[in-house]
Amino acid sequence: DFGGFFRDETFRDTFTYRNSDPRRFPFPFDRDDYMYAVNLEPHMPGRKGTAFEHMLDVDEHYIAEMIDRAKVLAEDPLRCQSLPHMTLAGWDTLELIMEAKARDYPQWFSLTRDGNRWHWVNRPLGIEQSFTFLDESTLPYPPFEYIMRQTQGDWTLQDERDGTLWMDAGIATSQADWSVDFDVGMNFHEWHAPVPLAHEKGVFDRALKFLLKLQHGAPVRRFNWTMTVNPLLDTAPETYHKWGPMRTTLTQENMGQKMHLRVELQSLYRLPRSNAIAFDIRCYLCSFEQIVTVPKWARRLHRVIRDLPEELATYKGFIRNRDAMVEWLSKCDDGAPTSPGW
Ligand code: HEM
């Protein structure tokens, strides 16, 4: 039964995206203010009914997100790239994802293996595929693209060389204004160059040091967040002319429906054969209207946005709307203290 999936919801044009239960949303703030930090923690399965219940969350938006991804790739094939030496890391990633989905969602996915002869079934997307592991000619796409067309979240694959990480493969169709085509072949400090304040605080030096020690079988995760006007998955630099102007359409009347908190649940995995690191950036959107149905989230979001350093509000692209957002959110903040933690 695939009745739980919103097959027809849209992240463009008609924007029918919605969450049936906002409490499932991974609210990212554990205090009333926010600053960049090396916020990495073990990626352990969490409470039932949350986005952390399983290693890779498959939620009600799965089918609709995969339809949206296919549209983006049809318009712009450069959204998915893999340099020639990353094919093995692509197979590692395919294995990681197929194993996790078949283990955690056996009602939807199954993987049967007989040596290198594998059989994969993806029931929600109606896919059945027999193939030979590590033989590209037996799949309709290269291994990375094949599995990415069946996986929510943008992913990048990092090769480790010369004491740093190189983004040598990636797909981005649900990104917060960055580009695989621009970043591919860059190293950890290069692709992070546009981020304000974090370099001088040593955040990227410490984060890289931590990642270079990442072990197979011990994934880690962190949150990132930004704001998006309308539930757009694909906010790419390549299509800025289409979605950028939407930022000028906000009023106090439409703020609740149009403004979305965009949360990225990012997880990192050391891959076994290639020794590459896979980075999953999973995007969750929730309208202000739905967020403020949880009173402690309403209070906290108001305070975080009100007090966020100007450099961060500018980088995240909402400085022009910040005052209007704070005005709207202030009506949902009764001034009561909040407790630290989620
Ligand atoms: C932003 C990739 C790991 C912290 C970004 C951006 C990219 C990116 C593409 C956008 C930069 C732009 O404006 O063009 C990656 C990849 C990682 C990784 C591929 C793993 C290999 C980390 C880690 C940290 C981190 C471990 C921990 C501190 C940040 C921060 C931002 C950022 C703070 C700014 C985000 C914002 O304010 O919206 N990252 N990142 N990244 N990254 Fe990473």
- Using one digit for the tens of pLDDT, what is the confidence trace for 203-243? 999 999 999 999 999 999 999 999 999 999 999 999 999 99
Q: Is the pLDDT of residue 198 over 70?
A: yes
Share of the chain above pLDDT 70, in %: 99
Adjacent-strand bridge partners of 113: 118
The 3 state secondary structure assigned to the chain is CCCCCCCCCCCCCCCCCCCCCHHHCCCCCCCCCCCCCCCCEECCCCCCCCCCCCCCCCCCCHHHHHHHHHHHHHHCHHHEEECHHHHHHHHHHHHHHHHHHHHHCCCCEEEEEECCEEEEEECCCCEEEEEECCCHHHCCCCHHHHHHCCCCCEEEEEEEECCEEEEEEEECCCCECCCHHHHCCCEHHHHCCCCCCCCCCCHHHHHHHHHHCCCCCCCEEEEEEEEEECCCCCECHHHHHHHHHHHHCCCCCCHHHHEEEEEEEEEEEECCCCCCEEEEEEEEEEEHHHHCCCHHHHHHHHHHHHHCCHHHHHHCCCHHHHHHHHHHHHCCCCCCCCCCCC
CA dihedral angle for residue 35, residue 40, residue 44, residue 48, rounded to 10 degrees: 10
pLDDT at 195 (0 to 100): 98
Ligand 1 atom at minimal distance to the Cα of residue 192: 11
pLDDT at 282 (0 to 100): 98
Ligand 1 pocket mutation pick from 43, 195, 314 by most atoms within 8 angstroms of CB:
195
Average pLDDT over residues 83-111: 98
Q: Which among 222, 247, 306, 322 is annotated as catalytic?
A: 222
pLDDT at 1 (0 to 100): 52
Q: What angle do CA 72, 56, 41 make, to 5 degrees?
A: 115
Ligand 1: which residue has its CA nearest to atom 33? 36
**124 CA distance to ligand 1 middle (Å):** 31
Q: Is the pLDDT of residue 2 over 70?
A: no
Ligand 1: which residue has its CA nearest to atom 5? 192
Structure tokens at 143: 């291994």
Q: Is the pLDDT of residue 54 over 60?
A: yes
List pLDDT tens digits, range 102-146.
Answer: 999 999 999 999 999 999 999 999 999 999 999 999 999 999 999
Average pLDDT over residues 287-293: 98
Q: Which amino acid is at 316?
A: K
**122 CA distance to ligand 1 middle (Å):** 31
pLDDT at 3 (0 to 100): 64
- Tokens 């049967």 belong to 112
List pLDDT tens digits, range 142-162.
Answer: 999 999 999 999 999 999 999
**192 CA distance to ligand 1 middle (Å):** 6
Assign 7 a pLDDT band (cuts: 50, 70, 90): confident
Share of the chain above pLDDT 90, in %: 96
More confident position, 2 or 32: 32
Is 222 part of the annotated catalytic residue set? Answer: yes
pLDDT at 306 (0 to 100): 98
pLDDT at 124 (0 to 100): 97
Average pLDDT over residues 69-94: 98
